[in-house]
Chain A
Amino acid sequence: MDLIRIKNAEKKYKNGVTAIRNLNLDIEKGSFTFVIGGSGSGKSTLIKMLYREERPTQGKIIVGGLNVAKLRNNKVYKLRRKLGIVFQDYRLLPKLTVYENVAFAMEVIGAKKNETRLKVLKALEEVGLKNKVHNYPDQLSGGEQQRVAIARAIVNNPKLLLCDEPTGNLDPEKSMEIMAVLDKINKVRGTTIIMATHDKEIVNKMKKQVITLKDGRLVSFKKKGTYYDEDVENAK
């Protein structure tokens, strides 16, 4: 079954830049997909369209049964509850503890206290931060902060986890730790993961499916892909 279906999608920004051109893509449930490409290739735009931060100017994007292109502003939350999002800059609230940051995602959708507690602790355990629940974000390392962000993204048990360069601010060692966490989530929870990155090593090590974008066009879609240099070279 496909969790995401993209048909003839095009995104043209108001300043005239076309970020995505005629994109067709189906992504299976439970898969782990890298989206790679150089700067300005449309990786981020693709991710943004998947969580309806941007709307496609043309075509269809269906995520978990919702047509993103036609989703109105006041209904966006319905989509957002089906997915988790992780960014390069973590986006944690500095005045809340680790526990509160993760619980925040449940509180604002009106979850019960007991349920919140259970799920938050479980998520934090999964990312290996159970001993840091009472710390504040600025007391944690970058890698740890990113793991908090991941815990927040998965706490509602979403079907889809979107990651926009989650390792962009981390050194290779910490990056691999994050990847291990994501891989575990993909395997244990069965969460579909889409990750935009330009980290060659990670892609080569993980051996997952790889989508290569270049100037907003789909260049290749490999089932067991690596960040082949020739792909990027050819695309140029």
Chain B
Amino acid sequence: MKMLRMLNRSIRDSIKSVFRNFSLSLASISCITITLIIVAISMLASFNVQNFTKEIEKDLTIVVFLDSDTSEDRITDLKKEIGNFPNVESYEFESKEDVKQKMQKESEVLNTVLDGWSEEDNPLKPTFKLKVKNVNKIGKTADKIKQIENVSVVKYGEGMVETMISSFATIQKVAYGAVIALVVVTVFLIVNTIKLTIFSRKREISIMRLVGASNFTIKTPFIIEGMILGIFGSIIPIVFTTYGYLAFYNHFNGYLYTHLIKLIRPEPFIYQMSLIILVIGIIVGMIGSSKAVRKYLKV
């Protein structure tokens, strides 16, 4: 009961203080707003990058064609050999016959042409389709497979995929850097805001200490004030993220430029993002205010 009464008092005081020092609060709130918008953009970008990196990695396969005259025994050996490669996660084998049937299904014309081929003069190549564990090493793995006897052609994304993935990684790193720098700047701004509210209430605080208010009682209103600044500061970024991302998603129909790059579906994603933004806002406000309280209250 006592706790609740004190908390109630703290909340009332901190709301009052936010509005009493409105211009100052506004400065902090707008700084948090700007930070959170940039944080939100960075997060939207990096989650999407992560998402389509994963999508691409999932689709990425090494296709290995064997010579068409490879014997059944040799194929059995090769299955073992390729399956045992450290970077190979799984493989799918298609015999000449399988390939032929697949092609026949694809079109009427092919169907009639291929129908004339017997088992012996089927010129198609038996094929392995490999999934790798680590996409960054896909080039090396492909090179090694090329050197195996009876392997005629090895095909994979060749260069383009690796560049894409490494440039995505760079984008993410830059985004993280920007976010951290901005958060630090915002914390400093909040420290200053709370410092000024502490100064304007110095008399009150000294009287509180004289009549025996505990440190907790003195500090809590300021920390709650920081949290309120954080909450106010996250309103615009949340609206921005929700509607901005929806508009963006709808404008591009869920794909960015090519069907290779698929955007994350907005439905649960924007809600999760809003929650993350709110939490970051509150935490940044809290860190800033508790820093200020520790520094300027000497309690």
Contacts and interface: CB of A to CB of B under 8 A. Distances in A.
A interacts with B = yes
Interface of A: 51, 73-74, 76-81, 85, 91, 93, 104-105, 107-110, 112, 152, 156
Interface of B: 2-3, 5-6, 9, 203-204, 206-215, 217, 298-299
B211 A110 contact: no
A158 to B, nearest CB: 9
Contacts of A107: 9
B6 A74 contact: no
A124 to B, nearest CB: 16
Contacts of B203: 91, 93
A104 B212 CA distance: 11
Contacts of A51: 210
Contact of A156 (B209, B211, B214): B211
B213 A76 contact: no
A14 B187 CA distance: 34
B2 A110 contact: yes
A168 B126 CA distance: 106
Nearest to B218: A108
A73 B215 CA distance: 9
Given A105-B211, A108-B208, A108-B211, 13 more contacts: A73-B299, A74-B214, A81-B212, A85-B210, A91-B203, A91-B206, A104-B208, A108-B212, A108-B217, A109-B212, A110-B2, A110-B3, A112-B5
A73 B214 CA distance: 10
Given A74-B299, A91-B203, A93-B203, A80 B209 contact: yes
B204 A109 contact: no
B17 to A, nearest CB: 13
Contacts of A78: 212
A142 to B, nearest CB: 18
Majority secondary structure of chain B interface residues (helix, strand, loop or mixed): helix
6 contacts: A51-B210, A80-B209, A91-B206, A109-B214, A110-B3, A110-B6
A132 B203 CA distance: 23
Given A107-B9, A110-B5, A77 B207 contact: no
Contact of A80 (B2, B3, B204, B212): B212
A77 B215 contact: yes
A81 to B, nearest CB: 4
A76 B217 CA distance: 13
B298 A77 contact: no
B298 A73 contact: yes
B6 A104 contact: no
Contacts of B298: 73
A104 B206 CA distance: 12
Contacts of B208: 104, 108
A12 B184 CA distance: 41
Contacts of A91: 203, 206-207, 210
A80 B210 contact: yes
Contacts of A104: 207-208, 211
A9 to B, nearest CB: 22
A66 B212 CA distance: 14
Contacts of B3: 110
Contact of B214 (A77, A85, A112, A152): A77
A126 B38 CA distance: 61
A160 B204 CA distance: 22
A76 B211 CA distance: 10
A104 B211 CA distance: 9
A196 B215 CA distance: 28
Nearest to B213: A108
B212 A77 contact: yes
A31 to B, nearest CB: 23
A77 B299 CA distance: 10
Contacts of B2: 110
A74 B207 CA distance: 16
Nearest to A85: B210
3 closest Cβ pairs, A-B complex = A80-B212, A81-B212, A108-B213
Contacts of A81: 212
Contacts of B299: 73-74
Nearest to B9: A107
The CB with the most chain B CB atoms within 10 A, among A73, A91, A110, A152, is that of: A110
Contacts of A93: 203-204, 207
Contacts of A108: 9, 208, 211-213, 217
Given A93-B203, A110-B6, A74 B217 contact: no
Contact of A77 (B5, B6, B206, B213): B213
A152 B209 contact: no
B211 A152 contact: yes
The CB with the most chain B CB atoms within 10 A, among A51, A76, A77, A79, is that of: A77
Nearest to A108: B213
A104 B210 CA distance: 11
A93 B210 CA distance: 13
